[in-house]
């Protein structure tokens, strides 16, 4: 990193992002998880030979999330291996649809790429749209659209941990932007399942401050909402605090890798540094001075792979014996 990069990183790293923690934050999420537990997950796994290859078997996974909404996911496994396998759960970005992660299964992983409510294959009952998700019912923490979305991710972890092909002691999470922010939430709410996670350019961290720091979408949705409904700012701010990664981060105990682009105009890097400071557990940070919301993806992918391999693969697999 050159002097300019070091100077900018130092300025961003020292920024103060203040997110008040609601007094009943833990109780709210404990009750949310209790309500989720009342829903029968009804998981189903269907092999898709038309999408499979000689090296990778592809499946479509379905399960029931919060309020019984049916959720879809892609699942891949190394062909011919029945497990138990190390597993990576991938959470998509805000406007992204889940990809079929065949390359990870070629490296020995079972993968699950989620399509939480609102995504194309999970939008029959809930479809706030993009833009739209960030501000849908944002004045009420109980009906806010992200409540179900967050719980869809948590339910996925519960379902994955029960799959017979999965080694429940070797489950990791990876995602960027929305996927990065939700990785923090997942590690905080399911510490018994998430063994490690990698989070790029984490979204939903310092939510209201981000809307002031940038005028790019999705955060611009908040600015637009408040221009029309200025009287709702206090309620929106209160609701956002229940969903802010800054308030989940201290509960994280899993090892984490965070990567940021210092020119990110979508998820302000100030918020990435701030949530990294709050993370519990062993952690490492990678920053890329001339990168925007991609957060240095071209260069960081090998680091993500090595990080998750180190925590999720057994020694023989890391050495290539059973790859």
Separation CA 22–CA 187 (nearest Å): 20
Residue 70 exposed, middle or buried by CB count within 10 Å (0-12, 13-18, 19+): middle
pLDDT in tens, 42-73: 999 999 999 999 999 999 999 999 999 999 99
Query: Which of 3.60.20.40, 3.40.50.1820, 3.40.50.970, 3.40.50.150 would CATH assign to domain 3-11+28-311?
Result: 3.40.50.1820
Report the pLDDT value the prediction gives residue 115, as an integer from 0 to 100.
Answer: 85
Instruction: Tally the residues of the chain.
Output: 323
- Residue 94 marked in a binding site: yes
Please tell me the pTM assigned to this model.
0.92
| List of residues 6+ apart from 50 with CB closer than 8 A | none
CA neighbours closer than 13 Å in the CB half-sphere of residue 298: 4
- Active-site positions read 177, 264, 293
Q: What are the extents of the domains in the chain?
A: 3-11+28-311
pLDDT in tens, 66-96: 999 999 999 999 998 887 999 999 998 877 6
pLDDT in tens, 208-257: 999 999 999 999 999 999 999 999 999 999 999 999 999 999 999 999 99
In the predicted model, what is the mean pLDDT of residues 133-142? 95
């Amino acid at each position: 990193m050159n002097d300019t990069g070091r100077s900018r990183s130092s300025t961003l790293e020292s920024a103060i992002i203040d997110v008040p923690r609601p007094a009943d934050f833990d109780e709210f999420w404990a009750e949310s998880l209790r309500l989720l537990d009342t829903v029968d997950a009804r998981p189903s796994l269907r092999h898709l030979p038309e999408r499979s290859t000689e090296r990778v078997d592809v499946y479509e996974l379905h399960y029931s999330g919060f309020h019984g909404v049916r959720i879809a996911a892609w699942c891949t496994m190394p062909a011919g291996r029945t497990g138990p396998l190390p597993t990576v759960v991938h959470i998509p970005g805000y406007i992204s649809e889940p990809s079929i992660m065949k390359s990870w299964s070629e490296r020995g992983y079972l993968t699950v790429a989620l399509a939480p409510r609102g995504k194309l294959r999970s939008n029959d009952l809930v479809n706030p749209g993009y833009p739209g998700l960030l501000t849908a019912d944002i004045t009420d923490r109980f009906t806010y659209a992200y409540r179900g979305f967050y719980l869809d991710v948590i339910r996925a972890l519960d379902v994955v941990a029960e799959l017979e092909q999965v080694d429940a002691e070797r489950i990791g999470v990876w995602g960027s932007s929305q996927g990065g922010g939700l990785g923090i939430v997942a590690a905080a709410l399911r510490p018994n399942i998430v063994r490690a996670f990698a989070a790029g350019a984490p979204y939903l961290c310092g939510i209201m401050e981000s809307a002031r720091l940038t005028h790019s979408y999705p955060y611009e949705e908040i600015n637009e909402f408040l221009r029309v409904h200025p009287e709702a700012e206090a309620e929106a701010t209160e609701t956002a605090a229940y969903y802010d990664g800054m308030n989940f981060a201290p509960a994280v105990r899993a090892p984490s890798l965070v990567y940021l682009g210092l020119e990110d105009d979508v998820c302000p890097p100030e918020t990435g540094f701030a949530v990294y400071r709050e993370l519990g557990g062993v952690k490492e940070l990678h920053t890329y001075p001339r990168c925007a919301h991609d957060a240095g993806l071209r260069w960081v992918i090998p680091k993500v792979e090595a990080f998750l391999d180190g925590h999720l693969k057994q020694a023989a697999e890391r050495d290539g014996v059973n790859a």
